Amino acid sequence: MNVNCHISGLGVSVPDKILTNQDLEKIMDTSDEWIVTRTGIKTRHIVKDNENISDYAFLAAVKAIEEAQISFSEITHVLVATCTPETLSPSVACVLAEKLALSAYSGLQLISSHNPGLVCLDFNAACSGFVYGLELARAFLALNPHATILLVAAECLSRKMNYQDRSTSILFGDAAGACIISAKGNALFRLLDVSVGADGDYKDLIRIGGGTDKKVQVGDTISEDFFLTMQGREVFKYAVRGMAQESLKLLHKNALQAEDIDLFIAHQANLRIIDAVRERLQLPQEKVFTNLDKYGNTSAASIVLAMAEAREQGILKKGQKIVLTAFGAGLTWGSALLAS
């Protein structure tokens, strides 16, 4: 699909509250040594009791909007990748649009009178959400080349952690990232191509309950399946295979070799998974950016969080070819090719 797709602003926001491996040692049978060796994670940021993920989505969105030098009234689409929305309805996208409209117009006004035809949409591709969002943005731009899309990836995994389940609860953290995508604009990145996939046969490998699958009544106690459950070892195998294959497929389609990539950013799930993918692509260590040691697995937000930090550290810079790749519940996966 030949669509001009420019990313012109990027912003991230993470909660101040930090949950360290040492904190986890106090509440479950685990150790810093096990977590670091098996995953590479040292800390994760989690929301405070009085916070919601839309608060962080808002902060990230404001940064992206400011960098893109646009106003909220120019936005035509608010797309939010999340598998941990604060409510099943309204969508985080609508909550975010209200927060942005209030800050933009400093008064209670109907957004629709400022952004006629505004599209607000949450979508759930789990940890592949940001890459799926690039595919969605590209499709919306093909429909309307004048669209200005706010793509947000925001997750509050900490509220879906069963801290009695040591094999999964040590992995996840909360974060939000946002970017502005349009066909014009002063691009930080150009989306050259994106490719996504899914296979529902593996739907039970990662699951987050708390939907409408069970009849509940006021006063019922929460059961284990309200939380995120995962068959970690199985997911590990598919994650390595999925991210490596999708990235190679995308490179091949664009007549590129792995050696043509300047920077590789994979979903930050586990350092051992990223390393196995890196080996399959035969990439040197210095071309692979990771920051999961600080944030853990922030699901859909992890790639945009890594992009922002790689840019801040001068690792992601102008003139590069960048491959993003993700894998998550569903199972879902996807890879994107960007030029900076």
User: Can you tell me the distance from the alpha carbon of 309 to that of 304, in angstroms, rounded to the nearest whole number?
Assistant: 9
Torsion of CA 333, 12, 179, 286, to 10 degrees: -60
Decide: 63 and 176 in contact? Cβ < 8 Å: no
The backbone region for 219, taken as left when phi is positive above 0, alpha when psi lies in -120 to 50, beta otherwise, is: left
- Supply 105's token pair: 């117009």
Say whether 267 is catalytic: yes
166 touches ligand UT7 (CB under 6 A): yes
269 touches ligand UT7 (CB under 6 A): yes
Candidates 270, 290, 291, 325; binder of ligand UT7 (CB under 6 A) is 270
CB of 125 to ligand UT7, least distance (A): 11
Decide: 194 and 134 in contact? Cβ < 8 Å: yes
202 touches ligand UT7 (CB under 6 A): no
Residue in 46, 40, 52 with CA at minimum distance from that of residue 23: 46
127 touches ligand UT7 (CB under 6 A): yes
**Residue 216 DSSP code:** -
Say whether 291 is catalytic: no
Q: Toward ligand UT7, which CB reaches closer, 13 or 332?
A: 332
Q: Which of 124, 267, 270, 291 is catalytic?
A: 267
First to last CA, the chain: 20
Say whether 254 is catalytic: no
Question: Using CB under 6 A, which of the segments 55-63, 82-90, 184-192, 265-273 binds ligand UT7?
Answer: 265-273
Helices of type H across 129-216: 129-143, 166-169
Q: Which of residues 1-40 bind ligand UT7 (CB under 6 A)?
A: 30, 34-35, 38-39
CB of 164 to ligand UT7, least distance (A): 11
Q: Toward ligand UT7, which CB reaches closer, 149 or 206?
A: 206
Q: Which residues contact 314 (CB under 8 A, 6 or more apart)?
A: none
User: Can you tell me the distance from the alpha carbon of 323 to that of 338, in angstroms, rounded to the nearest whole number?
Assistant: 6
239 touches ligand UT7 (CB under 6 A): yes
167 touches ligand UT7 (CB under 6 A): yes
CB of 327 to ligand UT7, least distance (A): 6
CB of 108 to ligand UT7, least distance (A): 39
CB of 233 to ligand UT7, least distance (A): 4
* Positive/negative CA dihedral, 87, 58, 163, 300: positive
Q: Cβ–Cβ contacts within 10 Å for residue 3, how many? A: 14
User: Can you tell me the distance from the alpha carbon of 111 to that of 65, in angstroms, rounded to the nearest whole number?
Assistant: 17
By beta-carbon distance, which residue lies closest to ligand UT7? 232
Q: Cβ–Cβ contacts within 10 Å for residue 288, how many? A: 17
- Show the binding pattern over residues 295-334: x = contacts ligand UT7 (CB under 6 A), - = does not: --x-----------------------------xx------
Q: Which of 127, 156, 179, 291 is catalytic?
A: 127
Q: Which residues bind ligand UT7 (CB under 6 A)?
A: 30, 34-35, 38-39, 127, 166-167, 170, 206, 232-233, 235-236, 239, 269-270, 273, 297, 327-328
- Give the residue numbers annotated as catalytic, written as ranges: 127, 267, 297
